[in-house]
Amino acid sequence: MIEITPEAWAVMVQHAQACYPNECCGILIGSESPGRRQASLAVACRNAYSGSQSDRFEIDPKDQLAAERQARQLSLGVLGFFHSHPDEAAYFSQTDLKNHWPFYSNVVLSVRHHQVVDAKCFQVDVDQTASTEEELLWPKS
Ligand SMILES: [Zn+2]
């Protein structure tokens, strides 16, 4: 399971709503113990996908490197990634499956009419053929 702190959650929601109706993307940083991850920092990244961004994203590699450096400086780790689904449910698509690595926690935010209405988290199998839902705790407001 992964828990999102209020500080990290606020960044994710703000980024998802600011990018709407395009997909946003970012990186989750925090600490982990067996079976439990806590994301205390969310880093908003630029969507570098060159086509229509309403249903695609690609994290800007420069932003990703900067986030990894920031995690190291804080003695934390990169736990996973987040992206939004504008006017779609929080599910893991076939494209998502192909574009995510195993072992990470991947949070999908459903955004409708500029508002984040739902969130779910998924992990990808080692061979990237299936995803399983991971328990996600976020501060409900
Ligand atoms: Zn997606």
Ligand 1 centroid to Cα of residue 96, in Å, is 5
Token output for 15: 């980024």
Neighbouring C-beta atoms of residue 132, cutoff 10 Å? 10
How far is the centre of ligand 1, averaged over its atoms, from the C-alpha of 85 (Å)? 6
92 Cα–ligand 1 center, Å: 6
CA angle 6, 106, 138 (to 5 degrees): 25
pLDDT digits (tens, 9 = 90+) for 7-39: 999 999 999 999 999 999 999 999 999 989 999
Domain that holds residue 34: 2-137
Report the separation in Å between the CA atom of 100 and the middle of ligand 1, taken as the mean of its atom positions.
10
Side chain identity, residue 4? I
Q: For the whole prediction, is pTM greater than 0.85? A: yes
CATH number at residue 58: 3.40.140.10
Q: How far is the CA of 73 from the centre of ligand 1 (A)?
A: 29
The per-residue pLDDT for range 61-99, each reduced to its tens digit, is 999 999 999 999 999 999 999 999 999 999 999 999 999
| Number of domains observed in the structure of the chain | 1
